[in-house]
Structure 1
Amino acid sequence: MYQPIVDLHDGTLVGVEALSRGAPGPLESAAALFAAGRAAGTPADLDEACLRSALRGAAQSSAAVTLFVNVEPATLSALGPRRLTALADAVAEHVRVVVEVTERDLLERAAEVVRGVQVLRDLGWGVALDDAGAEPKGLALMPFLRPDVIKLDLALVRGHTTLLTAAVVNAVRAEAERSGAILLAEGIESEQHLDRALAMGARLGQGWMFGRPGPLPTDGMSALSVPSARARGAGPVEVPRTPFAVLAATSTAQRAAEPLVASMTRQLERQALLLDEQTVVLANFQDAQAMTPATRRRYESLASLSALTAVTGAGMPDEPAPGVHGTALEADDPLTGQWVVIVVSPHFAAALVARDVTSRDDDGGDRPTGPDAQPGRRLEYLLTYDRQRVLDAAGLMLQRVRPTSGAAAAPSPVARGTPAQDAVRVPPADLPDLLLRAIATASNGIVIADALLPDVPLVYANAAFLDLTGYSEEEVLGRNCRFLQGPATDPSQVQPIRRRILAGRDVHAVLLNYRRGGSTFWNELHISPVTNPAGEITHFIGNQLDVTSRIERERRTAYLAHHDELTMLPNRSHVLEHLELELRRARRSGTCVAALMVDLDDFKTINDRFGHAAGDSALTWAARRLRSAVRAGDLLGRLGGDEFLVVLAGLPPAGGRREGPARGPSAEETVRRVREHLHAALDAPFELPDATVRLRASSGAALFPLDAGEAAELIARADAAMYRHKTGSRQQASPNG
């Protein structure tokens, strides 16, 4: 089966994606078919068979076809160059192949995937990164894969906008801008999905909105042009064998004593801590013994916050620190003579490489003893922030990284009541007694955490902090301060705090925290590192303030900027802005939009007879009743006084009915039904303290584009129709009418 891929700007068919299906029966679905393949231990053979079948089907077309086919990352390694070349030799001349490599599990076999993608390029095939955003950490390998097409996961198109969504889109857009990659959005089924896809920068799209999977649709296809890779048979391109050689090819190395190079290395490591989870950190230690306890702590922190932290070196264990992927180098590997740290993220790239001045060439030279060498040790080093040079050097490092079995579990926090906790319940003896007395009486919550103990536990909390949170001192000390977080705490706010703390930076943030009893409060945090005379961070001091009333006041102000304070309905500016948006969508899709005005009849009488408080109660009651009668997806707002406006969007063209599977009433019929529901909703008694009244309303509607082409004119037409309805109702009620 094949699903169309179209140009989102003009709807042109530009390609198809081959979708695998089994024979009718239990294994018909792709999920069941590949689950059976994995269970049988033959996933690569199944992938190859599906690929071959898709290529044969596309060859039946008489016109040029751009064919997208999906291959699991592990399959690229399993098939190898020989089997992939055999498949490429069987491809018809008029078929252009784009292999989709799924983002999931990329990091488990990073080096093999990068090599497999290079084989695809050598064959002249295009490469697409599939499901971008499904696992944000997988985007870390995007710069190394250099995809021609990046497919946005359907969750990005269909989901709500969050900071995580923005991070993914920003990373993808940055890569596309640098490399010229084409963005393709999956799962488009509605105008709303299409709007989001276009807003994210997608040029291509696929989904049920453009066609369901079926036979190969080649009529009218304008085959997509994918950037051509290096021609087959041209032979491999000569590349330097080490990162030092890559950078030395265009720059001159500087000489420095070891302390300066070590400080520059730690600065890059600290920079990596401040980046996002799509970061890759690669390092080479000339000897595993250079991984001192302090170094292991630094790299454990890096691994906990990055997509991939991998280190190589002579005698390097598989996991030199929790979460760090280690690879032992062969004795004759020229990399063993180099000191390397490389950091790559979507928006940052840096590489520092060094070697002892006694080294004669890039192939080894005299081996040093490691970064902790004898005093007076001198190195020649190169530092670059040029992204392409960094990626070239990182590629050589990545080739050496062995497959991993998955990220190691994060260390567990110190359990309450354990010896480790008991050991830190007494305030540190080196804190001056005066300082302790001063902060004990402070009105703000103040805590101190030990930066040298695992999980940075609290070792001090003043009375104000205990009052603020509702915990006792015994329940607080020995625990990381994250115990105050809960389900509604925003993780996108927590991660930057953690990064800045690990990088030894000041923190100022506002978080939603939880008290002991489960109630929430907004906590304004100020966290600062405390260093010893040697410059090592030993403690963190946190100042905490309850700012709940301020945050609630700010939120209410923001809410009332778009909502009516009495009825809590969208206010005039909000509903007009929404109407303008729906009109723009309707112009693009050819659909219809209705503006429906509702005005309460003789509302002034209620104010005059019963007072304005009764009038406000009546308006609130009417708003609730009208809201209950509005369709899901339509917007009801209060324009002012006793006037309300309903915006009905996505209606079929005026004078026609929906055809096909979504067949339904015409726009005029839908408006008529909604008006009936609104009037019926108000046809109920409204109880006042001293009387029972019934509210009546007049309504009128206008249709875009039949009655008007702009929002202001559409509302004016609906208002005129409403007054005609009001006048007609009064004449019918008159004895002489």
Structure 2
Amino acid sequence: MTSPDSPRWTLRTLYQPIVDLRDGTPVAVEALSRGEPGPRESAGALFAAARGSGTLVELDEACLRAALRGAGRRAGALTLFVNIEPATLSALSPRRLRALADLVGDDVQVVVEVTERDLLDRAADLVRGVRAVRELGWGVALDDAGAESKGLALMSFLRPDVIKLDLALVRGHTTLRAAAVVNAVRAEAERSGAVLLAEGIESEQHLERALAMGARLGQGWMFGRPGPLATAGMRAFPVPPPPDRRTRAGAAPRTPYDVLSAGSAAQRATLPLVASITRQVERQALVLDEETVVLANFQNAEAMTPSTRRRYESLAGLAALTAVTGAGMPDEPAPGVHGTALDADDPLTDQWVVTVVSPHFAAALAARDVPAGYGDAPGDSTGPAGGPARRLDYVLTYDRERVLDAAGLLLEKVRPTSGTAAPSPAGGEAPTPDAVRVPPGELPDLLLRAIATASNGIVIADATLPDLPVVYANAAFLRLTGYAEHEVLGRNCRFLQGRATDPSQVQPIRRRLLAGRDVHTVLLNYRRDGSAFWNELHISPVTNAIGDVTHYIGNQVDVTSRVERELRTTYLAHHDELTALPNRAHVLDHLRLELRRARRSGTSVGVLMLDLDEFKDINDRFGHAAGDSVLTWAAGRLRSAVRAGDLLGRLGGDEFLVVLAGLPPTGESPGRPEREPSAEETLRLVREHLHAALDHPLTLADATVHLSASSGAALFPRDADDAAELIARADAAMYRHKTRS
């Protein structure tokens, strides 16, 4: 028939029976689309033509419409499976979906099949589309489960009613890969009640294998070929859509923190503890199956430090989908990581979230900052350099239902990937291009010659021997590490590790190798001469015909320049390049945090500003190089004079600022020990030490100079209530001192 809504195609809909494997009774049909007789009759040719004209989504919708119309003309109860591609599902508006639903009556139970292939390209749109079809009362089936291992990653997010095992599982050999797919699918079915359906059953052997995998429903030529819709003797299989877990308790919570804290009391902790718990959750993801989804939210893009980027780059090389959201987040904050920038008013920008979901594991952590002065007692612990510790309320859970709810809120924010694959032919297998094959006798020699001349360092380790010894190393690896071949062969590659190699990056590697998993990480390694270099490492397993791992191939690249550039950029964001002291931005942030802590604890904070006298004359007489030497020398002398826990920074030019935190309350304090100096006394003593530290001769190239400085002090809360005003008061006092000198 020709669809009036899409006149460019002549479509035919065939229906293949689906049976209950327990007794062979037909219980449903799957609609399969075909073109007009001739060169475009097959689904593959039909969709290839649409691909060339850029009308794939339009064709897919037309196929769906034709299938529903054909089923709508038949009387009686019917369960109808219809194919729809993720790209089409995400493109259909609620109005267009409702118009399609009106083509069938209430006695037709529609089950929408979304193919496992390419699910991750528009994951957020797909999840929203699945929710929309559920609102119509339709069921959802995951098609081709196992065709691509990464496609299983979204299985738990889709919450399918039916999981269709890919025909390769039914017809193929028993391998570890097949077992991993079956284990993942069975785990989801056990949790959710989803029904397993095996495709491609053509023989008793296929049937036996499908039953062994836990399939209840089946289809294939053994039970009937595609043809006209026939419902005689059919009992419709009921597929009730599962309830949306996020609506059980009423309105859906707005954020992951709301979801998690609704079921567990939040704990309060300092930043280092929350950060370490987060890294532990991320480490757990490194040893999971490749069907894993890692979704995280940082309050802003600046939280993606170089070390964080390296961790997430490693995760992206192993997980099916690694995505990060946050204010100002770039599209690719680390290689392979999908970034999504959030609006400034998005409630997620106030939260720190990491979620990990795989077929056999789920974990989520959500945290938010504790407002200044809220609920903390005096004497709270301090952060680095005596600063106040950043405190967060956090919730950690391994409850799968709540993890999925929290992760789903993040997934809905994730932008589409850069390339969205075209839909596969509806009702048929995707066309497979002809493979380019090398004659078997030439393959080993060709591979070894290619590896030998590669610019990357490549080693091959024997997985069948204890401790995975290296059995091959190419010339590039020997140049990279400085070792001779006889010093490498027979050893485990851990000999490249050294005193500063991060154990948290090393420990997951062996576990992943034992599990036959890929590894992607960046390690600090050491050459034969003891020099360190940053090594970007990819390790891939090589399997034999039955799926056993026989070797590992390690690909290694020196990325020292890249990593050091990232570290340098981070350092310069907080430090003065000339003196290595904290810069103005760092000092101001530190002072603001100290003031927040002082407000909670009732203590005071002092600031001391120093300005070198006649520094301009030194620059004019001896040159700017000499001036830089003076500033560096002065910074070192002042650093030696400040108390432990106080912060010395350079504001700019020849101005320095010292922040003194945890001082006693200003004025009379009856509870203070007799021998404890007051805040004013402490400021005076530190000020004297700073001036004394500068009272030493400094020899320049052509002369010896004696430095002096003017200084001024101010105290919170006596003199000012905020950081800017406090510095202004100290600055005014300093200039009064300078004019009196």
Q: TM-score range by the shorter chain?
A: 0.5 to 0.7
Q: Name the CA distance, whole Å, in 2 between partners of 1:63 and 1:202.
A: 26
Q: Name the CA distance, whole Å, in 2 between partners of 1:129 and 1:456.
A: 48
Equivalent positions of 1:310-459 (< 5 A) are 310-358=323-371, 375-406=388-419, 459=481
1:51 is matched with 64
How far the C-alpha of 1:297 sits from its partner, in A, is: 0.7
Contact 2:72 2:103 in 1 (8 A): no
Contact 1:446 1:462 in 2 (8 A): no
- In the alignment, is residue 207 of structure 1 matched against residue 228 of structure 2? no
**2:103 paired residue among 82, 90, 96:** 90
- In the alignment, is residue 176 of structure 1 matched against residue 186 of structure 2? no
- In the alignment, is residue 283 of structure 1 matched against residue 304 of structure 2? no
- In the alignment, is residue 65 of structure 1 matched against residue 87 of structure 2? no
CA gap 1:303/1:258 in 2 versus in 1, 3 angstroms: same
Contact 2:519 2:540 in 1 (8 A): no
- Please give the per-residue CA displacement for 1:399-444, whole angstroms capped at 9, x wherever unaligned: 0000002599xxxxx998999979xxxxxxxxxxxxxxxxxxxx99
Contact 1:273 1:502 in 2 (8 A): no
CA gap 1:133/1:256 in 2 versus in 1, 3 angstroms: same
Equivalent positions of 1:14-25 (< 5 A) are 14-25=27-38
Q: Name the CA distance, whole Å, in 2 between partners of 1:444 and 1:230.
A: 49
Contact 1:354 1:381 in 2 (8 A): yes
Supply the AA of the counterpart residue of 2:305. T
The structure showing larger relative contact order (alpha-carbon pairs under 8 Å, at least 6 residues apart) is 2
- Please give the per-residue CA displacement for 1:44-95, whole angstroms capped at 9, x wherever unaligned: 2212221121112112322211100000000011112110011112212221
CA gap 1:18/1:374 in 2 versus in 1, 3 angstroms: farther
2:151 is matched with 138
How far the C-alpha of 1:235 sits from its partner, in A, is: 13
Contact 1:157 1:188 in 2 (8 A): yes
Q: Name the CA distance, whole Å, in 2 between partners of 1:373 and 1:82.
A: 60
Supply the AA of the counterpart residue of 1:254. Q
2:517 is matched with 496
Equivalent positions of 1:199-348 (< 5 A) are 199-228=212-241, 238-348=251-361
CA gap 1:288/1:159 in 2 versus in 1, 3 angstroms: same
Give the 3-state SS of the residue equivalent to 1:69 in structure 2: strand
Equivalent positions of 1:484-563 (< 5 A) are 495-496=516-517, 498=519
Q: Name the CA distance, whole Å, in 2 between partners of 1:447 and 1:235.
A: 55
Give the 3-state SS of the residue equivalent to 2:409 in structure 1: helix
2:124 is matched with 111
Contact 1:444 1:464 in 2 (8 A): no
Q: Name the CA distance, whole Å, in 2 between partners of 1:457 and 1:306.
A: 32
Q: Name the CA distance, whole Å, in 2 between partners of 1:222 and 1:121.
A: 23
Q: TM-score scaled by structure 2?
A: 0.56
Supply the AA of the counterpart residue of 2:329. M
1:189 is matched with 202
Q: % of aligned pairs identical? A: 68
- Please give the per-residue CA displacement for 1:189-216, whole angstroms capped at 9, x wherever unaligned: 0111111100100000000000111111
Supply the AA of the counterpart residue of 2:413. R
Q: Name the CA distance, whole Å, in 1 between partners of 2:72 and 2:260.
A: 45
2:619 is matched with none
Contact 1:97 1:125 in 2 (8 A): yes
The runs of 5 or more residues in structure 2 that have no matched partner are 1-13, 375-383, 422-449, 459-465, 496-511, 526-538, 554-741
Q: TM-score scaled by structure 1?
A: 0.57
2:166 is matched with 153
How far the C-alpha of 1:510 sits from its partner, in A, is: 14
Supply the AA of the counterpart residue of 2:145. A
Q: Name the CA distance, whole Å, in 1 between partners of 2:227 and 2:332.
A: 48
Give the 3-state SS of the residue equivalent to 1:310 in structure 2: strand
The runs of 5 or more residues in structure 1 that have no matched partner are 362-370, 409-413, 423-442, 449-453, 474-490, 515-520, 526-737
Give the 3-state SS of the residue equivalent to 1:496 in structure 2: coil
Q: Name the CA distance, whole Å, in 1 between partners of 2:213 and 2:388.
A: 54
- Please give the per-residue CA displacement for 1:615-669, whole angstroms capped at 9, x wherever unaligned: xxxxxxxxxxxxxxxxxxxxxxxxxxxxxxxxxxxxxxxxxxxxxxxxxxxxxxx
- In the alignment, is residue 127 of structure 1 matched against residue 127 of structure 2? no
How far the C-alpha of 1:35 sits from its partner, in A, is: 1.8
**1:12 paired residue among 7, 14, 25:** 25
Q: Name the CA distance, whole Å, in 1 between partners of 2:366 and 2:156.
A: 20
Contact 1:122 1:230 in 2 (8 A): no
Q: How many correspondences in the alignment?
A: 457
How far the C-alpha of 1:275 sits from its partner, in A, is: 0.1
Contact 1:384 1:390 in 2 (8 A): yes
Q: Name the CA distance, whole Å, in 1 between partners of 2:185 and 2:20.
A: 19
Q: Name the CA distance, whole Å, in 1 between partners of 2:477 and 2:110.
A: 49
- Please give the per-residue CA displacement for 1:600-628, whole angstroms capped at 9, x wherever unaligned: xxxxxxxxxxxxxxxxxxxxxxxxxxxxx
Supply the AA of the counterpart residue of 2:310. R
Supply the AA of the counterpart residue of 1:131. D
Q: Name the CA distance, whole Å, in 2 between partners of 1:138 and 1:257.
A: 38
1:667 is matched with none
**2:54 paired residue among 20, 29, 41:** 41
How far the C-alpha of 1:188 sits from its partner, in A, is: 0.4
How far the C-alpha of 1:466 sits from its partner, in A, is: 5.0
How far the C-alpha of 1:251 sits from its partner, in A, is: 1.4
Contact 2:355 2:403 in 1 (8 A): yes
- Please give the per-residue CA displacement for 1:570-625, whole angstroms capped at 9, x wherever unaligned: xxxxxxxxxxxxxxxxxxxxxxxxxxxxxxxxxxxxxxxxxxxxxxxxxxxxxxxx
Supply the AA of the counterpart residue of 2:144. D
- Please give the per-residue CA displacement for 1:372-395, whole angstroms capped at 9, x wherever unaligned: 997511111000000000000001
Q: Name the CA distance, whole Å, in 2 between partners of 1:106 and 1:403.
A: 11
CA gap 1:321/1:379 in 2 versus in 1, 3 angstroms: same
CA gap 1:305/1:97 in 2 versus in 1, 3 angstroms: same
Contact 1:445 1:463 in 2 (8 A): no
Give the 3-state SS of the residue equivalent to 1:107 in structure 2: coil
1:727 is matched with none
Supply the AA of the counterpart residue of 2:519. R
- Please give the per-residue CA displacement for 1:13-43, whole angstroms capped at 9, x wherever unaligned: 0000000011112211111112222222222
Q: Name the CA distance, whole Å, in 2 between partners of 1:102 and 1:244.
A: 32
- Please give the per-residue CA displacement for 1:667-704, whole angstroms capped at 9, x wherever unaligned: xxxxxxxxxxxxxxxxxxxxxxxxxxxxxxxxxxxxxx
How far the C-alpha of 1:498 sits from its partner, in A, is: 3.1
Q: Name the CA distance, whole Å, in 2 between partners of 1:524 and 1:38.
A: 39
Contact 2:470 2:489 in 1 (8 A): no
Contact 1:4 1:210 in 2 (8 A): yes
Give the 3-state SS of the residue equivalent to 1:342 in structure 2: strand
Give the 3-state SS of the residue equivalent to 1:192 in structure 2: helix
Give the 3-state SS of the residue equivalent to 1:286 in structure 2: strand
Contact 1:121 1:230 in 2 (8 A): no
Supply the AA of the counterpart residue of 2:20. D
- Please give the per-residue CA displacement for 1:317-355, whole angstroms capped at 9, x wherever unaligned: 000111000000001100001000000000000000101
Contact 1:284 1:339 in 2 (8 A): yes
